[in-house]
Chains A and B, each alone.
Chain A
């Protein structure tokens, strides 16, 4: 199973980029405060500059302490986005799924995301990939038994529940 996205250079480079820190305002300098957003930018820059396996949860917490911010409480969406972007990157890289990729589990740990939130992200991202694959299968007008079996296997790898896959199949007309 191949996707057009798999062909670009994004399959090899992790989906993070270095972002410059925000300058302090006059009042922040006066009261010796740090811009809050620099905490999440620092986390982003850490992900962009350090190999995933060398990062641990303590490093993220240390950034929170440095900027006097509870990063997970203040920037939950950004933390989820880091995970979702990496999940998308893994899907591109492995093409068929990510059941053997331990880096996702490690990322969940360092970002401090709950299992429920991670499952929700898997469903949201996986849905896109499953739908694309499904559309590609029925492009020639035939949905063979082999393709059906492969798609079922793909859905399992993407951790998509039956409810979502059946809805998508109904939408595509399979």
Chain B
């Protein structure tokens, strides 16, 4: 209910004390009041529950406040428009998209490290405060800022690690994308432990990527990737074996044997098996020897052979062994 003043000319106005602005009553239905208040309370509770994740908490807080009827009317008055249900639904849907993304990220963090980095940071805070209780506020603020930045860095790093450690996700991304993720993650990693963690994750991701290529019989692509990887890991038994397998599939047995020999030297049993298959031992008869009945051998072939050794018991061939690729 509204009153628009000054429609009647001043000299024609009557009972002005009766026709005044603010002479209005609230006509909002009880059901509307109830549901908007309940919705706001629910969103405020979500905001409280999301305090460890400040952006999410702020979004929920904004949504809750926007539902309150006085705020709703204030917005309509200040922005001069009617905040209809359709507009409200559209605005809330738009606000829910970033909320959903933040919730998913938060869940990923929890999966990766047990707790979101921000929570971890906030938990560390009291311990650090205890260690240095005499710091001035400016210093404390700077330290807090650094902690927030560090927690954001950890969040991003953890996101990269989650992706690189997830075989299902990694199976669908290209080798170049793994490289990009690696560059991003290694730039974020500051401590040697974190760098080692990134290296391990990337190695696993690359191996998974190679396996995927080999499964889909893209041996040439897998071979190229392995060759690049082995620049940094020349003695990696698994990579040597996989590259040998690629060479074998591509018909280059000689190169396969080279890799397999190296892997065998490093103690790979599966390399040995594959080597025996690709480059088996070849036996060639070079001559025969006479076996005497006392077990000794004689190269004599005439009469009297083995006469002092119990006589001739048989003739046995003598072999020379070799492999195709020596």
Mask, A115-142, CB within 8 Å of B = 1, is 0000000001100100000000000000
Contacting residue for B14 out of A31, A74, A75, A88, CB 8 A? A88
Smallest CB-CB separation from A36: which chain B residue?
B2
* Given A28-B80, A36-B2, A74-B1, A41-B15 contact (CB < 8 Å): no
Identify whether the interface residues of B are mostly helix, strand, loop, or mixed: loop
CA distance A57 to B165 in the complex (A): 74
A78 near B81: Cβ-Cβ < 8 Å: no
Return A3 CB to nearest CB of chain B, in Å: 13
CA distance A77 to B9 in the complex (A): 16
Number of interface residues of A (CB under 8 A): 35
Chain B interface size, under 10 / 10 to 19 / 20 to 34 / 35 or more: 20 to 34
* Given A17-B9, A85-B13, A88-B14, A27-B80 contact (CB < 8 Å): yes
A36 near B12: Cβ-Cβ < 8 Å: no
Return A46 CB to nearest CB of chain B, in Å: 12
A76 at the interface (CB under 8 A from B): yes
Residues of A within 8 A of B82 (CB): 28, 31, 33, 36
A44 near B7: Cβ-Cβ < 8 Å: yes
CA distance A15 to B6 in the complex (A): 12
A81 near B1: Cβ-Cβ < 8 Å: no
A107 at the interface (CB under 8 A from B): no
Contacting residue for B15 out of A25, A33, A73, A128, CB 8 A? A128
B9 near A15: Cβ-Cβ < 8 Å: yes
Residues of B within 8 A of A35 (CB): 80
Residues of B within 8 A of A143 (CB): none
B325 at the interface (CB under 8 A from A): no
Residues of B within 8 A of A73 (CB): 1, 27
B14 near A19: Cβ-Cβ < 8 Å: no
CA distance A35 to B81 in the complex (A): 7
Smallest CB-CB separation from A45: which chain B residue?
B7
B11 near A41: Cβ-Cβ < 8 Å: no
CA distance A65 to B2 in the complex (A): 18
CA distance A75 to B18 in the complex (A): 14
Residues of A within 8 A of B9 (CB): 15-17
A80 at the interface (CB under 8 A from B): yes
A40 near B8: Cβ-Cβ < 8 Å: no
Return A75 CB to nearest CB of chain B, in Å: 6
Contacting residue for B23 out of A8, A40, A77, CB 8 A? A77
* Given A73-B1, A77-B23, A25-B80 contact (CB < 8 Å): yes
Residues of B within 8 A of A162 (CB): none
A147 at the interface (CB under 8 A from B): no
* Given A25-B81, A33-B82, A75-B2 contact (CB < 8 Å): yes
Using CB atoms and an 8 Å cutoff, list the residues of chain B in contact with chain A: 1-4, 6-9, 11-15, 18-19, 23, 27, 79-82, 84, 87
Pairs across A and B, CB under 8 Å, 14 listed? A15-B8, A25-B80, A25-B81, A27-B81, A28-B82, A31-B84, A36-B2, A77-B23, A78-B19, A85-B8, A85-B13, A87-B14, A124-B15, A125-B15
Q: Enumerate the 5 nearest inter-chain pairs by beta-carbon distance, A residue then B residue, closest first.
A: A15-B12, A25-B80, A27-B81, A88-B14, A77-B3
